[in-house]
Amino acid sequence: MAPQTNGCILFDWGDTLMRDFKEFNGPMKDWPHVEAVPGAAEILATLHTGWILAIATNADVSNEQDIRAALKRVNLDQWLDKIYCFKTIGHNKPSLEFYRYILDDLKLSSRTIFMVGDHYEADVLGANRCGIRAVWFNDRDNENRQAEMVRTIHRLGDLPMILAGWG
């Protein structure tokens, strides 16, 4: 019997869990320098016991193995159960097809899935269109967006409180 979970938390990859350095090209696993976003390891370790944790990314030059190799360089790979990427799905966020693929694969109600990402259109609005609640990770400024399907955090460490507040 599978362990009981609260559901699934989908994380965007670039600039949500790992810094996306625009000056580097090719798969992130091959970049000369990689780094996790502050608080990423701690939040994944905290949430891993009660949630399925996954990446949902538009990265178009990396497949699942490449993404796992990059995550391993910053010790995040151990916490992530699934990787959803453009190379596998064939569609990008914010398309309905991208999020429907994930819903079909997880076989969970959209009410038990949350998307966390830094790109408002792709991560938040795209997820919302499929009935998935989303957390906008805005570590650039103090802007907050709150709605029935949207919350804002400015640091990853605030995620458990937001999830608990949603009930």
Please report the pLDDT score of residue 5 as a whole number: 76
Please report the pLDDT score of residue 124 as a whole number: 97
Catalogue all structural domains in the chain, each as residue range(s) with its CATH number.
8-166 (3.40.50.1000)
C-alpha distances in Å from residue 129, one per residue of 99, 121, 143, 148, 152: 9, 11, 22, 13, 17
Please report the pLDDT score of residue 167 as a whole number: 63
Element (H, E) at 32: none
HSE-CB for 152 with a 13 A CA cutoff: 13
Please report the pLDDT score of residue 112 as a whole number: 95
61 SS3 class: coil
- List, run by run, the mean pLDDT of 10-residue segments along the chain (167 residues): 75 97 95 97 96 96 96 98 96 96 96 97 96 97 94 96 88
90 SS3 class: coil
Task: Please state the pTM of the whole predicted model.
Answer: 0.95
Structure tokens at 92: 């990008």
Please report the pLDDT score of residue 33 as a whole number: 97
CA gyration radius for the chain? Answer: 15
